[in-house]
Structure 1
Amino acid sequence: MNPENPLIQKHIASGGTAAVYEEGHISILKRGWKLRIEDVSNIPLTLSGKASFMIQNALAATLAAFLHGVSIDDIRMALGTFTSSVAQTPGRLNLFDVGGYQVLVDYAHNPAGYEAIQSTLERWDCQRKIGVIGGPGDRRNSDLRELGVLAARMFDRAIVKEDDDRRGREPGEVAALIRQGWEQEKAGDRLQEILDEATAIETALEKAEPGDLVVIFPADVQRTIQIITRFQDKLNPKPSYRGSSYSIGPDLISPSPDVKLS
């Protein structure tokens, strides 16, 4: 992410090749030359360059492809057409339009994952940021409290839930630890506790208002997508045609092309 990094410079000086992010571009550096591959604003996976962790992923993929002899045109085409859709990357930065508000689904389940989403949401233009949060039961108590701290920093309101598999924890134990972290940052009633994941997601979707962004950190990704899809169908009924059937295939369940970022 920093082409002036001493490790990068030393590597290039010794004959190595590196992929770097410079002046808004994914570029390849090798000794005395630089090859610009693509502007990140043309890479859907990065949400116009706002999702820095996706820029990091694009760097790794670009370098791997380049060193294996994939043509620049093919690399550029791949970067420009690969999206964080349900079909291609289920549970990884999937964005949905649901009746005037947006829903973002990401399988973030540790502090590093929460921090990555937090950095993206800092650039997001919306009315309210509402989270459906949780964490695996086999993490340290301190890690679960940290999830609560990070969630309080990125969301206006949130619902804390638990995984179906609590991994040895008692019911409510994980949620209580996350709440402790949340309350270090935010006091009051802005964190609701609904332990059942499906119910927590449905509640967040029902209470969301136009202009809101609902962010869901699910344990069961496929179930979460099915719930969101049901809400889409309920708020935007499919047209019916007399004498014939009409259906929308799963490939059309994809992120919104209109990402509201500041």
Structure 2
Amino acid sequence: GVGFKHCDVGIVTKVAADHLGLKGIHTIEQLAKVKGVIPETVLPDGYAILNADDDLVYSMRKSVECNTAIFSMDENSPRIKAMQKRDGLSAVYENGFITICRGEWKMRVVKAVNVPLTYGGKATFMIQNILPAVLMGYVRGFTLEDMKTSLETFIPSASQTPGRLNMFHFKEFDILLDYAHNPAGMRALQQFTNNLEATKKVGIIAGIGDRRTEDNNQIGAIAAEMFDEIIIRADKHLRGKTEEELIAMVEEGIKMTDPNKKITVIPSEEKAIKHAVKTAEKGSIIILCSDVVPEALDLVKKLKEEEATKLYEFTKDDIPNLRKDDENGVHTEAELFLSKEK
């Protein structure tokens, strides 16, 4: 259920095979009915905003009693074209732009590469997520200029978007922390990391206790495609399975894809992170799929601070315009000039 009876805007971005086998939900079609509750709660004068690229989501338009707007990464989608011919509302990604369409009339909001959330256009799933966001803003009365400014100035970071593509640049390597914890999340993360340059990509991953064996196998299989080396850890919250069971499921998935993939098993997330940092090669990137995001972020920030302390020792020589006067201690250039004038 949901924590409210009605809303003004309901958005469904996708239906993926996650949480199956829980609470009587065993098929993706059943899961779609659960997610379909959101657009069904929209008031008659509100909007259900649906993903036209997902068949199950697009079908939800049939069960709503409100206005419908759709979005697609393909401006030539037949569903988008049909909506435009009906003078309906849609959003598309076209020629590098996040664009709102009222009928066939295009209103370009912003270039995707200029939106920090997209990492220069590399994170295509973020572009897809922005499409319904601008539709929501538009139907709620935000101007195109306000949306453009907001998108261009919202910076993904550990404080603004904890656990969502948090990048940390160390001197010799990078760490990317993300909450990807299911096959769909891993696929989206894969699309992004495939666009990143690195001498080596090291993944830190784990199985999920309340997911099916095949789901955890698939997490391992996708990781085998993504990473040159994999560290398998265990979640803090095991959700009904043992560490050994979850590690075995993920490892099985890895070996089904690449029997020769280098695998290191370190159940503790903290120890796994420290091991990856200690053994990181110059130019490499560590992709950390975390389960307790606040704790992982705190550790990565601590390691970053420790490195900065060692690399960038601060002394009085670093203070601009500061120099020593023989007998009168430390003075600025301006103070010395004034003392000479006197």
TM-score, normalised relative to structure 2: 0.69
State yes or no: 1:127 paired with 2:219: no
4+ residue segments displaced more than 4 Å: 238-242
- Provide the rounded CA distance (Å) in 2 between the counterparts of 1:31 and 1:59: 16
- Greater relative CO, 1 or 2 (CA 8 Å, sep 6+): 1
Compare 225-234 and 46-55 and name the one that shifted more.
225-234
Q: Distance in 2 between matches of 1:99 and 1:172?
A: 35
Q: Is it true that 1:109 corresponds to 2:109 in the alignment? A: no
Task: Show structure 1 runs of 5+ residues with no match.
Answer: 243-262
Q: 1:200 & 1:17 partners in 2: Cα distance?
A: 47
Would you say how many aligned residue pairs link Structure 1 and Structure 2? 242
Deviation at 1:15, TM superposition (A): 2.3
Larger Rg: 2
Contact 1:98 1:231 in 2 (8 A): no
Report whether the alignment pairs 1:141 with 2:204.
Answer: no
Local SS of the residue matching 2:266: strand
Letter in 2 for 1:12: Q
What displacement does 1:188 show?
3.3
CA distance in 2, matches of 1:217, 1:75: 30
Name the % identity: 35
Question: Cα RMSD between the aligned structures?
Answer: 1.3
2:85 maps to which residue? 13
Unaligned runs of 5+ in 2: 1-72, 317-342
CA apart distance, 1:239? 4.4
* Equivalent residue, structure 1, for 2:259: 187
TM-score by length of 1: 0.89
CA contact (8 A) 1:28 1:37 kept: yes
Cα deviation 1:7-59 (Å, max 9, x = unaligned): 11112222211110001110111123111111111001001111110001111
The aligned residue for residue 160 of structure 1 is 232
Matched, 1:84 2:156: yes
Question: Within 2, Cα distance between the matches of 1:126 and 1:240?
Answer: 31
Q: 1:189 to 1:114 in 2, by over 3 A?
A: closer
Question: Which of 136, 143, 168 is residue 64 of structure 1 equivalent to?
Answer: 136
Contact 1:99 1:232 survives alignment (8 Å): no
User: SS of the counterpart of 2:291?
Assistant: coil
Structure 1 residues 161-216: Cα deviation after superposition (integer angstroms, max 9, x where no partner) = 11111111123110110000101122236011111111111111111122001000
CA deviation string 1:50-95 (max 9, x = no partner): 1110001111111110111101111000110112211110000010
Do the aligned residues in 2 keep the contact of 1:172 with 1:195 (CA within 8 Å)? Answer: no
Letter matched to residue 268 of structure 2 = D
